[in-house]
Structure 1
Amino acid sequence: MEIVMALIVGTLYAAGVYMIRRRSLVKLIIGLALIGHASNMLIFSMGDLVRGNAPLLHEGVDITTLADPLPQALILTAIVIGFGAQAFAIVLIRRVYQRIGTDDMDKITSTDRINP
């Protein structure tokens, strides 16, 4: 299971870096989202993937069969923050496109140009 998770994380990181290196602002945001998801998967896989038992301690429970709740809480927080940041970035990209008329980063040189 760890090998599959490592391949998934590596693929997401590679796809994210590839998308960031493109010239479009939309692809930049997609690349950042992919890298964020890869980071979440990496944290999740570091928390010992186990099935079955909830992360609650009571008498007679083997600790090695429990899921670690800390990576799950960190990932939940990261998902919420990432969603907020992506929503903000999408609004900014929309405004730039309305103002400049393109999302190509090479053609965006100044924000002083006003479209009629």
Structure 2
Amino acid sequence: MTPPLVMVIAMGAMYAAGIYLMLDRSLTRVLLGFLLMGNATNLLLLLTGGLPGRPPLTDGEDLSAEGMLDPLPQALILTAIVISFSLTAFLLAMVYRSWRFVRDESLQDDLEDMRVALEATGGSGDEAGTSGEYEDTEFGDEALTPLDDDAPDLDDDGTPDERAALREAHEAASGHDTEEETR
């Protein structure tokens, strides 16, 4: 069961052209690339359905499993046609709306969005809980339940006992207890 070579080459060319067009900023080219990819996928499903020229399910003579074709690829092609039609309508509406409002259907970098994104990166650690307030991690001797007290210290910040002594000295110098504040 070898698929026709011309159809395989056409499918590959449609996939390549579709990917190339979808990587452009023009919404019309993205739409055309999407259509090419959808048709290439339909062709792929058609090629998996069996040899061309045979009846859809059976020829009526050989009713065994070898004489029948799989109807699943045909059902998948029908489903893919419906899905690609609806997504094409959606993309056409996007292209029309873009042309109607901006008189341009290509996507450009928005300077205001870039400015907001650059400003937001300064405080993004606070929202994510990674603001650098805590320098230790959950790995190694900073774990809440270390494996044993004889584990080698692989960090530059000292052993857990040395860090506890530094913390107590800092609390005594500042005049308040941080354990009371955390409770």
Give the AA of the match of 1:87. Answer: A
Length-normalised TM-score, structure 1: 0.80
Q: How does 1:1-116 map to 2 (within 5 A)?
A: 1-56=3-58, 60-61=62-63, 63-106=65-108, 109=110
CA RMSD of superposed structures (Å): 2.3
Distance 1:60 1:6 in 2: 29
How far did residue 48 of structure 1 move?
Answer: 1.5
Determine what percentage of the aligned residue pairs are the same residue.
35
The 4+ residue runs of structure 1 with deviation greater than 6 A are: none
Unaligned 5+ segments in structure 2 are 112-183
How far did residue 60 of structure 1 move?
Answer: 4.3
Length-normalised TM-score, structure 2: 0.53
- How many residue pairs get aligned? The number is 109
Which structure shows the bigger proportion of residues in helix conformation?
A: 1
